[in-house]
Amino acid sequence: MWFAADKTLDPAIEACSLTPHDLDTLTQKAYLLITTVGPYVQYGHHAYKSCAENGTHYLDVTGEAIFTSRMIKQYSSLASSSGAMLFSQVGIESAPSDLCTWMLAKTLREQLSAQTGEVVLSAELSGRPSGGTLASALGIFENCSMKELRYVHRPFALSPVKNEYASHKMKNSWWSKLTGLREVPGLGLNTTSIANGTDGAIVGRTWGLLASLPERRNEFYGERFSWVQYMGVESRFRGMMIHLCLIVFSILLAALPPFRRLVKKFVAFQPGDGPDMEASKKNEIRYRGFAKPDSEHKGERRRAYCEARYRGSMYYCRFTSLCNSSLSLGNVS
């Protein structure tokens, strides 16, 4: 989908091949391009490059942090020259986590005059992924090395400035390391989240951009900022199974190409297919979290709390249905 610079014109949809000529023709007449063509590590490069070259603003809904990392390295300078603003991962990955973190930090700054220390989020999601999402997940292991994947999912890997505090890691008990389970005060029972690395890449980049841009420095979270995201679960058994499945499947997908081919044959949906609108009406996404002031405020026991919730399909969402979502930011208490 593309939006013309003339705001009186309606958004337009037209067929376009993934060739430099066709994409340049499209982006040169567009003000904003929104792309949902994935897997992005395979097909996303062309549109990103064309927007960077032609000064066209860009949004995508990828969950592939490795794609985001590659595009930043290749086209940041070009986009700065052309005036293009390029934003990846603005869907479920990773806008809710990024916005919740920003609002938590804003509350601490405005109500306690404090910078942000530790941020902990808990995400709960119901619903099945589409064929495109599944293809993207499998495609990562076919187009990226494990070394590259490990690097990009490290905290602050996409930040334009180094975080000297990033070496600090939240302490996990041996039980949490083994089972993934942890009781988080105020957030209940949680387990390992597959989105922790993906969403953390964007949160870390936002932290670095706020630190490096003079005009946004007053919104900077702080030097001692740390962040983690878990997945909320209802039972210990479910939490352990999610944790163990993530470990086992990641190893098998990375190490065994035949296993990837087998998974492709038996996944619920193929690319271009997915849950229908009726089946997705009761899907729900919920983010809860808190932020503590940094270590300079050791005597300060108050925290900022937030919750963001959306009920409905992740794939058939209309602009008018956004009223179903809500974001409440609790007082520092």
Mean pLDDT, rounded, of the chain = 84
Q: For residue 11, what are its two tokens?
A: 């958004």
**Model pLDDT, residue 324:** 41
User: DSSP 3-state assignment of 308?
Assistant: strand
Question: Beta strands 86-87 and 32-35: pairing type?
Answer: unpaired
The pLDDT-based confidence of 270 (bands split at 50, 70, 90) is low
pLDDT number for residue 150: 86
Q: Render pLDDT for 304-330 as a digit per residue (tens, 0 to 9).
A: 999 998 888 777 655 433 334 444 445
Which ranges in 144-232 belong to alpha helices (H)? Answer: 146-152, 174-179, 196-212
- Tell me: the pLDDT tens digits for 119-146? 999 999 887 776 667 777 777 877 788 8
Instruction: Please indicate whether residue 246 or residue 135 has the higher confidence score (pLDDT).
Output: 246
Which pLDDT score, from 0 to 100, does residue 259 have? 80
Tell me the pairing of strands 226-232 and 57-60: unpaired
* CA gap 52, 223 in Å, rounded: 31
305: β partners:
290, 330
Higher local confidence (pLDDT), 330 or 189:
189
Question: With 90 as the cut, is the pLDDT of residue 287 above it?
Answer: yes
Give whole-number Cα distances, 81 to 19, 75, 215, in Å: 23, 10, 19
**Quick one: pLDDT band at residue 177, thresholds 50, 70, 90?**
confident
Q: Which helix (H) or strand (E) holds 81?
A: helix 65-82
How much is the pLDDT for 310?
87
Q: pLDDT tens-digit profile of 58-72?
A: 999 999 999 999 999
